[in-house]
Each structure stands twice: as C-alpha cells, then as structure tokens.
Structure 1
C-alpha cells in the first residue's frame, strides 16, 4: 500500500495543493498533499506510513 495510518484510519480523499494553502508555510516545498480521513477518535495518535515506512508525521484526533 502506498500510504496508510497506524492504527488504521481510512483516507477518504487526497489532493495536491500549493504550499501557500496550508496552515503553515512549507518553504522550499513544491507541493503539499492534503489527506481527508474518516472520523478520528479524540486523543488517539495515528502514525503516517509512506511506501511501507513510518514517517515522523503523526496526527492526534481532536474533539470538535
């Protein structure tokens, strides 16, 4: 699988956006990929894996 989260978190949509469209500027980056996921559990941590390898990216489910 190309990308995934652990524990499992369904990716519902992906899109390539300009770095200027992000919350934080990504200087030196040509593009940013925005992932829209299924609902996350508040407080749970989800590790992001890309091409089978765990990255330094982690998201934590937030309460609405």
Structure 2
C-alpha cells in the first residue's frame, strides 16, 4: 500500500470521475514503470470483465 492510499483501499481504484481511471506512482519515478504496468493490467482486466458482462446481459435480454 502506498503512502497516498487510504488504509484498506487498493492502489488501483477508479478515480472520483466516472469513466476516468488512473494508475502509477508520482512520488517515486523509478517505481512508476513496473507499478503502472501492473496496475494497467489490473484495470484492463476489470474493463474487459465489465464489457463481457454487458454483452452477456444484452444477449440474455435478446434471447428472452
């Protein structure tokens, strides 16, 4: 957990603005690349899951 992350929260959270995501570490530039890549992969997985859930829900509505 980073120093900027409130206790009990993940380092990868949706931003307070709907549809805006951010990841990385602005305080330690040497740690930014690896941490950002890992966080980006996590965000991508969550977005892919959300897209899949939306497609499956639409398919269920169409099939009755």
Q: What TM-score range do you get, normalising by the shorter chain?
A: under 0.3
Which has the greater radius of gyration?
Answer: 2
Going by fraction, where is strand more abundant, 1 or 2? 1
Larger proportion of helix: 2
Q: Which has the higher contact order (CA 8 A, sep 6+)?
A: 1
